[in-house]
Structure 1
Amino acid sequence: MVTAQDDGWAGIGWDWKDYDDIRRRLDQGADPEAWSGGRPLHRAAVFGSPEVVAELARRVEDVDALENGVTALWEAVVSRKPDNARALAAAGANPWRQSIGGWSPGRLSLAGPTPGLFAVPAGEHLTDAERAAAEEAMRLIGALGSLHYEGTGLACVAGIDAAEAVRRLKATPVQDEVVDEVLEDPYACEMDESLHVVGVTSVPGGCVVSQPWGYAPTMPGVLTRLSAGTVCYGLYANPKSGNQGSVARDGSIEDWDLNPGGGLYGGATSEEVLASYLYLYNPVAFSCSFVGLRLTDARAVIGPHDLWVQLPQRDYWRQSHW
């Protein structure tokens, strides 16, 4: 039996798919409204099965109760769990209740892979701009494909080509034998040698500066030089701490400590909500899209690059581009 100190969910972790276990816990007094500081229905919406979602939805007081400002149905839609979303809607959850950025779960689903998830009432539709953004996201994610980007640093720059990026960085071409040595085992090279070698590639809409083994393209002194008169998004896929994003505009760092492709958050604008949903768990595509790059393949990220160049020795942790 559940005690005063036990909500009945001890040991369940993040796996909410075992219907028999969940029902047994509930029958023995597990609290359908609370789990480890959160709500079981929200966890099941993301990590559970439709059967578990339906069972929990039947037992809660309010199927549209909020956690961190959103409903369980919102979580199911954002997490691309259409069967769980259908189970919640069948239990009475409201697909058209507005949430972050003025979006509802139902309207957000119109931009995703299952636009027919709910019956759409009159007046609920995407704008032309939102539909175009959804179509471009599908195209860009497909063009990049499944690529290994852990440990990669990227600077996605709008409006300039590879040659202009090299000029702004005052970088110099790297000899083929040096590139071959670094590519063979970048971590075996001296840090000053490998860290200052980057690949640069022109793409539709601008260019990408890439380093598959390090953070050099995202150093403030690189981003600010590249962003003069334009905008640049930096991504470092840190193997230890996760994806780190930053924005530089017209020579200054505008925002940092971002989590590209990491999900939605309260206070986001309508455009930010849509982008976060469309590029969830796709940080490379998110970073390219942020500045309007329209890559047709993954070459600018993983190579072969248009140019291999070496950055000059300077203090790249200063933000000024002068």
Structure 2
Amino acid sequence: MTPGSDGWADMGWKWTDVDDVRRRLDEGADPERWGGGRPLHRAAVFGSPQVVAELAGRVADVDALENGVTALWEAVVSGKPHNARALAAAGADPWRPSIGGWSPGRLSLAGPTPDLFPVAEGAGLTDTERAAAQEGRRLTAALGRFHYEGTGLACVAGIDAAEAVRRLEAAPVADGIVDEVLEDPYGYDMDQTLQIVGVTTVPGGCVVTQPWGYAPQMPGVLTRLSAGTVCYGLYANPKSGNQGSIARHGTVEGWDLHPGGGPDENDTAEEVLSSYLYHYNAVAYSCAFAGLRPTDSRAVAGPPDVWVKLPRRDYWSH
């Protein structure tokens, strides 16, 4: 190992080769330090159970924190049950309180592997949490998997498509025009297509969508849609990832959020649960935030109930 090195040079995402990791450790690699954080946390998300077990046996504290959470928390949130079991076998505490008062073990009860750990007495979910977890499973299954990169949408609680169109003062668009745009949306100048959005009624409210752009999440759209209610906007930016926003009662409350990105250190208990249930699924997170309960992906993936054209106005100064 070179002087000043932590022994993990060129590891990148390669935390699955236990022989390589063991060799590095035997040659002096630091089990407590990697250039981007703690090796055990990295392996909990990107590694194999064998690598996790090897590292767990070399660290001073298997429950050491990075960004406020343990490696076991990271394994549970990232959906790596085999790594979580390896950590528990090495002595990690599934019931140690973490973000929002949740422990890794209690959080796992809401996920796809509720039998991950023996349940501690009194550590079960509340009826409200159990209902949220059940809806999370239903919603993600109903939406399924589909390509939505480049899509903008606004999930609006409590109003239908007709009311959304009225609030936006939008006018119907001929199907032929939309068909031409859909054939090659990026072949048009954005000025020609930005005003066109789809609107669909779903249980709990409606969805405004644009498969090729960010229009539904523009502040002036969100504020009009959210009068007397709440709205969650999403733009799946191809360059920088999912960008979320919240508008309530005509005011934008949150901007540059990261739906589907997993729990953050300062999240409330409710936010932690939602972020866990919809980790890696920004569309489902956006729908759930607004209390929408779509039965399929049509409101986002199309075709919508109606295509409309927004009037030209400044949508960035509200």
TM class by shorter-chain length? over 0.9
After TM superposition, give the deviation of residue 186 of structure 1 in Å.
1.6
After TM superposition, give the deviation of residue 281 of structure 1 in Å.
0.3
The secondary structure found in structure 2 opposite 1:235 is: strand
Q: Does 1:143 pair with 2:125?
A: no
After TM superposition, give the deviation of residue 57 of structure 1 in Å.
0.6
Q: Identify the residue that residue 233 of structure 1 maps to in structure 2.
A: 232
In structure 1, how many angstroms separate the alpha carbons of the residues matched to 2:191 and 2:7?
55
Q: Deviations along 1:110-135, whole A, 9 cap, x unmatched?
A: 00000001011211100000000001
Q: Which moved more, 1:69-78 or 1:188-197?
A: 188-197
Q: Which runs of 4+ in 1 moved over 6 A?
A: none
Q: Identify the residue that residue 202 of structure 1 maps to in structure 2.
A: 201
Q: Identify the residue that residue 283 of structure 1 maps to in structure 2.
A: 282
Q: Deviations along 1:278-310, whole A, 9 cap, x unmatched?
A: 000000000000010000000000111100000
After TM superposition, give the deviation of residue 191 of structure 1 in Å.
2.3
After TM superposition, give the deviation of residue 265 of structure 1 in Å.
1.0
Q: Which amino acid is 2:193 matched to? A: S
In structure 1, how many angstroms separate the alpha carbons of the residues matched to 2:149 and 2:36?
31
In structure 2, how many angstroms separate the alpha carbons of the residues matched to 1:159 and 1:219?
20
In structure 2, how many angstroms separate the alpha carbons of the residues matched to 1:189 and 1:69?
46
Map 1:80-119 onto structure 2 (within 5 A): 80-119=79-118
In structure 2, how many angstroms separate the alpha carbons of the residues matched to 1:121 and 1:251?
45
In structure 2, how many angstroms separate the alpha carbons of the residues matched to 1:31 and 1:105?
26
| Alpha-carbon RMSD | 0.8
Q: Identify the residue that residue 17 of structure 2 maps to in structure 1.
A: 18
After TM superposition, give the deviation of residue 105 of structure 1 in Å.
0.4
Q: Identify the residue that residue 59 of structure 1 maps to in structure 2.
A: 58
Q: Which amino acid is 1:304 matched to? A: P
Q: Which amino acid is 2:313 matched to? A: R
Identical positions, percent: 76
Q: Identify the residue that residue 215 of structure 2 maps to in structure 1.
A: 216
Q: Identify the residue that residue 309 of structure 2 maps to in structure 1.
A: 310
The secondary structure found in structure 1 opposite 2:165 is: helix
Map 1:138-217 onto structure 2 (within 5 A): 138-217=137-216
The secondary structure found in structure 1 opposite 2:112 is: coil
Q: Which amino acid is 1:197 matched to? A: I
Q: Deviations along 1:148-198, whole A, 9 cap, x unmatched?
A: 000000000000000000000000000122112111112222322211000
In structure 2, how many angstroms separate the alpha carbons of the residues matched to 1:41 and 1:105?
16
The secondary structure found in structure 2 opposite 1:256 is: strand
Q: Which amino acid is 2:162 matched to? A: A
Q: Which amino acid is 1:265 matched to? A: D
In structure 2, how many angstroms separate the alpha carbons of the residues matched to 1:268 and 1:12?
31
For structure 1, list consecutive stretches of 5 or more residues without a partner in the other structure.
Answer: none
Figure out how many residues of one structure are paired with residues of the other and give that number.
318
In structure 2, how many angstroms separate the alpha carbons of the residues matched to 1:177 and 1:60?
64
Q: Which moved more, 1:173-182 or 1:19-28?
A: 173-182
In structure 1, how many angstroms separate the alpha carbons of the residues matched to 2:155 and 2:226?
10
Q: Deviations along 1:71-111, whole A, 9 cap, x unmatched?
A: 01001111111111111111110000000000000000000
In structure 2, how many angstroms separate the alpha carbons of the residues matched to 1:149 and 1:44?
29
After TM superposition, give the deviation of residue 15 of structure 1 in Å.
1.4
Q: Which amino acid is 2:245 matched to? A: S
Q: Which amino acid is 2:306 matched to? A: L
After TM superposition, give the deviation of residue 318 of structure 1 in Å.
1.5
Q: Which amino acid is 1:256 matched to? A: W
In structure 1, how many angstroms separate the alpha carbons of the residues matched to 2:191 and 2:51?
54
In structure 2, how many angstroms separate the alpha carbons of the residues matched to 1:27 and 1:264?
35
In structure 2, how many angstroms separate the alpha carbons of the residues matched to 1:284 and 1:88?
31
After TM superposition, give the deviation of residue 267 of structure 1 in Å.
1.1
Q: Identify the residue that residue 47 of structure 2 maps to in structure 1.
A: 48
Q: Does 1:294 pair with 2:293?
A: yes
Q: Which moved more, 1:203-212 or 1:34-43?
A: 34-43
In structure 2, how many angstroms separate the alpha carbons of the residues matched to 1:26 and 1:239?
39
The secondary structure found in structure 2 opposite 1:59 is: coil
Q: Which amino acid is 1:161 matched to? A: D
Normalising by structure 1, we get a TM-score of 0.97
Q: Deviations along 1:229-272, whole A, 9 cap, x unmatched?
A: 00000000000011000000011101111000011111110000
